[in-house]
Structure 1
């Protein structure tokens, strides 16, 4: 009886969803907080890999002098090759941790936010990021100033972010929030702008990180990061408004109970599998597959790229951060040009821009795999500037072909699979790298190239079905 009552309430709420939006004070109140949080997180990531290498070296038994000058001569290069597989395993473990629980959260919370609001989920994600950066700062300070800690402490530092939803929770809530405040005509622009902010903040963070580190110390870098994360958290409390009016007949306690409702999982998979007119269901599945596979490669590459350039080109942290900032600036410039010039001026469709992005990703992966000189990495970035367009373009198309009340469910399911892709990407890429890095360090890039090629084939089918897809107008 209680379950039937809950189901009736849920059905009544879903029928009212298109009209229960709130009027927000700041249409773009979310973006400053996102930029600040992205900056904090990327500033942490820029130097964290170097810290993990150093602490792994110290725990292995080498002294501080050797561990702070790894890969500077033949002797320290041999030491780094000894510890790199261990660092790769730590990175893989962190990736797995950040895949399992956030995937489950995104599966539930996206659907939940369609009914009870977006801001609660945003604040949960902001809290998790802030706590994790705080723990990284604490562990780094202890290791450098009191007693060297095992690098596995950074695995445990990730737990607050993981158990509060992680990047998947943030990603779903941000996409849903942007969809609430945009029309079908400008939704891809809004989602692209958020992607732009993410990578622009990353470029600034990577560019500044090595200079701040050389002028101060790694603990000070992390203090700047935690200060920015805290500021973003406070902004989310006082400035960001709710876009969904929660149903007044459901108490706060019942809202929390709804998070754990098995009916919510059933709703999500029913939304995915139900029949749709024409080729809409096939198109939706294909559109979901493309960003999932793109994120799969990002998971795999992200744990190895720093190790790759150190092994292949003996790069220092500064050389790496300069490249990353340059690469990101080129990418966000390509995103900006793609949105304003190709889409707004030349009226390219979202799917066409997605294909341009996938082609860029394919060429970039092949060039990095076979690069023999470090300048070829810069050349690869320069001739493939549209890489960041893939995810926002395909997500924009997804939001057009499903009703508004299903957007949260579709985004949460997609993000869930994106997170779970790390379970395969981490071990697979790590095994490939650990078995090839002394003879062919770029081998794992070939796997990425094959995935991008498969995505392009999938896009050909999307184009074939496109004329038969009915676009729904739920504004």
Structure 2
């Protein structure tokens, strides 16, 4: 096993890893765990699933926590809307399916509150992501991973308190505000996938991203079933589990995640180094930079397509639970969460194995995989919108089982189009744009759903299919 020797005062160029990729080198265990040596590490010599093994525990716990709490939060909002905002009796609130007029009112107000929550959740994260991706390229990925989980503990602690008292559902908007103000999902994704981009190459990146995304999704949907079942023991029980998982993630990142690249010391960082106009300019330069061939145009088209898909998928997802819990389906929370879990587990397994088969054995490009996934998403939304019974919902799940492959291929392709020292800037720019997706999607689709649910509840899904369809041909 070869030892590393280098001059600590001489920091290698950003593309140093690439230039040394042809060297015959196998890092020792001590080399891999040592801080400040990453620019000297030959990325090609790292184990194939090096980054996946480090990020899977983190994203698994994160997925389980968010899957557990999300449907429970929606149910809590629905309950408080009925009890407090609309001031209906407990008899009506506990048997909404027997009171059509009141059920429609609860559905309408709940969807509006969810829209406001999404806006609160999106805007601060969109702002911070403009700066923190570029900052992490200089100061490292570890701190941007830690901060969101501290915020999640506080936010879901507040939600836990609200399970014991009856207050207006509008106060529950404080939960997404705290989450977003500390980075939330946007910062977690930027930090995690920038870390993975640091220590993967074009050959290993796609399978590593697929594994991490799939495990996250598997546990997120499994958490949905867990949360639904735990509510039978009390509204507060799922929140105890969620908070515990966030605490475990904070501890895991603090002690188990090591930076292998030589970043600047955080001790030398000032607050004025974080929020600066220059970081926004860096993000823009990453997108507008001239690249070989048509790579710049290709990069912009991919991000544009991702935004369109995100708007439609996130917009429709925001109303799915309400869509299925009322006429003509009348699903219970337990029915919805079990369906969600099974659907997610199947999609997660497919994401890993189909991606490996398509990439490694059939040598299909990431671009073509993205096209197949988009077509699957269009058919999924179309069947959802035309459904008149639960059987159609199950068929929709079947035809849409490949839709999540698109997000894996897009991450892999976009990272491969930029230099290693631009990964954080690219992902922060992309996540900032993706933060607009909930803002647009939830606002538009919730308002449409509110005005169409009485004559065609599935109209939003058909609209989403029509808007997404042109992406297939791009």
TM-score (ref. length: structure 2): 0.87
SS at 2:236's partner residue? Answer: helix
Q: Does 1:289 align with 2:315?
A: no
- Equivalent in the alignment of 1:276: 291
Tell me by how many angstroms 1:243 deviates. 3.8
Tell me by how many angstroms 1:64 deviates. 2.5
Go from structure 1 to structure 2 and tell me whether the alpha carbon gap of 1:38 and 1:337 turns closer, same or farther (over 3 Å shift).
same
Which residue, 348, 360, 366 being the options, matches 2:376? 360
- Equivalent in the alignment of 2:20: none
CA contact (8 A) 1:195 1:388 kept: no
Q: Distance in 2 between matches of 1:265 and 1:211?
A: 45
Tell me by how many angstroms 1:13 deviates. 8.0
CA contact (8 A) 2:323 2:457 kept: yes
Which residue, 411, 428, 431 being the options, matches 1:395? 411
Give the alignment of 1:142-161 within 5 angstroms: 143=165, 148-161=166-179
Q: Distance in 1 between matches of 2:218 and 2:251?
A: 22
CA contact (8 A) 2:68 2:242 kept: yes
1:210-244 Cα offsets, whole Å, 9 max, x none, are 22222x11111211111111111111111112243
Q: Distance in 1 between matches of 2:379 and 2:138?
A: 42
CA contact (8 A) 2:152 2:184 kept: yes
Tell me by how many angstroms 1:139 deviates. 1.4
Unaligned runs of 5+ in 2: 1-9, 18-35
Tell me by how many angstroms 1:253 deviates. 4.6
Which residue, 201, 205, 211 being the options, matches 1:187? 205
Go from structure 1 to structure 2 and tell me whether the alpha carbon gap of 1:255 and 1:429 turns closer, same or farther (over 3 Å shift).
same
- Equivalent in the alignment of 2:161: 138
Q: Does 1:122 align with 2:171?
A: no
Which residue, 47, 64, 68 being the options, matches 2:72? 47
Q: Does 1:258 align with 2:276?
A: no
SS at 1:387's partner residue? Answer: coil
CA contact (8 A) 1:55 1:150 kept: yes
Q: Distance in 2 between matches of 1:335 and 1:198?
A: 11
CA contact (8 A) 1:369 1:446 kept: yes
Tell me by how many angstroms 1:336 deviates. 2.1
Give the alignment of 1:322-471 within 5 angstroms: 322-458=338-474
CA contact (8 A) 1:109 1:121 kept: yes
- Equivalent in the alignment of 2:30: none
SS at 2:200's partner residue? Answer: coil
Unaligned runs of 5+ in 1: 1-11, 459-475
Tell me by how many angstroms 1:15 deviates. 4.5
Go from structure 1 to structure 2 and tell me whether the alpha carbon gap of 1:232 and 1:321 turns closer, same or farther (over 3 Å shift).
same
Q: Distance in 1 between matches of 2:417 and 2:206?
A: 13
Give the alignment of 1:80-95 within 5 angstroms: 80-95=103-118
Moved more, 349-358 or 255-264: 255-264
1:409-463 Cα offsets, whole Å, 9 max, x none, are 11111110000122221221011101100110011112221232121122xxxxx
Q: Distance in 2 between matches of 1:84 and 1:153?
A: 18
Q: Distance in 1 between matches of 2:270 and 2:58?
A: 26
Q: Distance in 2 between matches of 1:330 and 1:45?
A: 20
- Equivalent in the alignment of 1:4: none
Give the alignment of 1:188-203 within 5 angstroms: 188-203=206-221
SS at 1:152's partner residue? Answer: helix
Q: Distance in 2 between matches of 1:137 and 1:401?
A: 43
CA contact (8 A) 1:334 1:385 kept: yes
Tell me by how many angstroms 1:160 deviates. 1.7
Q: Distance in 2 between matches of 1:78 and 1:36?
A: 40
Tell me by how many angstroms 1:41 deviates. 1.3
Go from structure 1 to structure 2 and tell me whether the alpha carbon gap of 1:402 and 1:14 turns closer, same or farther (over 3 Å shift).
farther
- Equivalent in the alignment of 2:313: 298
Q: Distance in 2 between matches of 1:426 and 1:201?
A: 24
Go from structure 1 to structure 2 and tell me whether the alpha carbon gap of 1:101 and 1:285 turns closer, same or farther (over 3 Å shift).
same
TM-score (ref. length: structure 1): 0.87
Q: Distance in 1 between matches of 2:216 and 2:91?
A: 36
